[in-house]
């Protein structure tokens, strides 16, 4: 499981022109699910996201987690995080999980983050979405449950 995490001052996601998710200060998470990912992968990523100390404390040091900072999380499913473009010009998505399993694990990840006390908004799995965000910092963190980065 992979995640691209961006700290934002605000973000929203729309489907067919309708806003379906919106947050203020928080994290936008683009989440990719790989074939073979398990509950352990979900737990690892959810814990990392909920515990990321990327928000400023009183001394302006990135020392606070989203919960400590009163931040929210907007999670967007993005199978293209497993696109492999090393050969040719058209990425292969063969490592991405099948839609039914990817949706289950994506929803489980959102639920685990919410269980930690964070406000969570989501996109619509499988839909074409417009994602709008205002980056803060900018701060962007890459996470991978296989710990390759």
pLDDT in tens, 75-113: 999 999 999 999 999 999 999 999 999 999 999 999 999
pLDDT < 70: residue spans in the chain: none
Q: What is the pLDDT of residue 98?
A: 98
All structural domains of the chain, each given as residue ranges with its CATH number in brackets, are 2-84+92-144 (3.50.80.10)
Which residues are known to be catalytic?
A: 78-80
Give CA–CA dist 132/27, Å, rounded: 12
Q: What is the pLDDT of residue 123?
A: 98
Q: What is the pLDDT of residue 106?
A: 98
Q: What is the pLDDT of residue 136?
A: 98
Is residue 120 classed exposed, middle or buried when 0-12, 13-18 and 19+ CB atoms within 10 A define those classes? buried
């Amino acid at each position: 499981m992979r995640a691209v995490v961006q700290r934002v001052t605000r973000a929203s996601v729309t489907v067919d022109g309708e806003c379906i998710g919106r947050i203020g200060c928080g994290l936008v998470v683009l989440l990719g699910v790989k074939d073979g990912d398990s509950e352990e992968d979900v737990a690892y990523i959810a814990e990392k996201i909920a515990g990321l100390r990327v928000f400023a404390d009183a001394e302006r040091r990135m020392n606070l987690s989203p919960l400590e900072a009163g931040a929210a999380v907007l999670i967007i499913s993005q199978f293209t995080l497993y696109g492999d473009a090393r050969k040719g010009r058209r990425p292969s998505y063969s490592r991405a999980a099948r839609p039914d399993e990817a949706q289950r694990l994506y929803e489980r990840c959102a639920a685990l983050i919410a269980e930690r006390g964070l406000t969570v908004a989501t996109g619509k799995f499988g839909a074409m979405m417009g994602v709008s965000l205002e980056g803060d910092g900018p701060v962007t963190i890459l996470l991978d449950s296989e710990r390759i980065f």
